[in-house]
Amino acid sequence: MTFKEKLKLVINNMTEGQCADLFRVLNINMPERHKCMCCGYYTLVGNSEEIAYDICDVCYWENDGCKNDEDFSTCNHMTLGQARENFRKYGACDMESAENVREPKYYEMSEYNE
């Protein structure tokens, strides 16, 4: 597990208040969150360069820049539309990844980020 993955795991298990306290103590800004194009939750943490090719914890889609249903993703081996359909059916961008995903956190919901 990389440092970034470990850190993500820790942060994912903290409450909003704990997160804010930690970032205040460390004197750093809360990280930017971006919406996963497949599941729609705000799971991608960092600036647009840092989130390139990150894998979403909620649906396992690799963020390769696809935006529309008909866009074919080479690294995900399917179109974004197929992945979205799979997420509705299996709760992951493909059936095989269903065991690797987790439930979204409250701070990853769109109402918290928009």
Q: Give the shortest CB-63-to-Zn ion separation in angstroms.
A: 8
Is 12:56 a contact under the CB 8 Å cutoff? no
Q: Is 56 in the site for Zn ion (CB under 5 A)?
A: yes
Distance between CA 47 and CA 83 in Å, rounded? 24
Tokens matching residue 97: 């990844």
Answer yes or no whether residue 45 interacts with Zn ion by CB under 5 A.
Answer: no
What is the bridge-based pairing of β-strands 72-73 and 78-79?
Answer: antiparallel
Please count the residues of the chain.
Answer: 114
By CB under 5 A, residue 37 contacts Zn ion: no
d(CA 18, CA 58) in angstroms, rounded, equals 22
Q: How far is the CB of 33 from Zn ion (least distance, A)?
A: 12
> What φ, ψ does residue 79 adopt, rounded to 5°?
-80, 160
Any contact of residue 92 with Zn ion (CB under 5 A)? no
Q: Which of 34, 39, 54, 104 touches Zn ion (CB under 5 A)?
A: 39
State the nearest-atom distance from the C-beta of 75 to Zn ion, in Å: 14
Smaller CB separation from Zn ion, 23 or 91: 91
In the list 44, 45, 51, 58, the residue contacting Zn ion (rule: CB under 5 A) is 58
Please report, as ranges, the residues that interact with Zn ion according to CB under 5 A. Answer: 36, 38-39, 56, 58-59, 61
